Amino acid sequence: MKRLFLDANVLFTAAHNPDGKAYLIISLGIKGAWEVYTSGFAVEEARRNLAVKYPSAQKIFNEFISAITVVSEFPDALYPPGLNEKDRPIFQAAHACGASHLITGDLVHFGSFMNAQASDKESYEETYGIIVQTPSMFLNSL
């Protein structure tokens, strides 16, 4: 079964756009299509941004976040070389929880790691076997 780790921006987007792809991924995960994980770090970042930009979305956020497995940060876990320091806790938590996929909208910092597949051994090894995708990429790959 796929194990998805969701970045803060995916949580944020799902909460303020419940008709979008990020929310669909969470909804299908809650229904058992795949396992859904995130970290306390991602939850707090999403919660802070929602409080400022979309305070009315906090109710939806709280509803779905209670159904997602929230893991601790793993500062000693591996991360790809060259990954921005600010984004390392996200990747490290994804790696430590055994995620098959890291779902993120952050193309600036994760873009060079997007869609590494087992067929591209070097890229796939660089992400320690985690497939990094946007919500759209993930849904299109199904």
Q: What is the CATH number of the domain that holds 112?
A: 3.40.50.1010
What does the pLDDT read at residue 36?
A: 99
Distance CA 134, CA 115 (A): 9
Could you tell me the residue range of the domain that residue 50 belongs to?
Answer: 3-141
101, HSE (Cβ side, Cα atoms, 13 Å): 24
In this prediction, residue 101 carries a pLDDT of: 98
The structural domain count of the chain equals 1
Tokens 């991360």 identify what position?
79
| pLDDT at residue 118, rounded to an integer | 53
Buried b (16+ CB within 10 A) or exposed e, 15-28: bbebeebbbebbee
**Residue 117 has what pLDDT?**
66
The pLDDT of residue 73 is: 86
- Cα separation, 106 vs 114, in Å, equals 10
Give the pLDDT confidence score for residue 75 in this predicted structure. 87
Question: What CA–CA distance (Å, rounded) separates 118 from 36?
Answer: 22
Task: Extract the residue ranges of the chain whose pLDDT is less than 70.
Answer: 117-124
pTM above 0.85, yes or no: yes
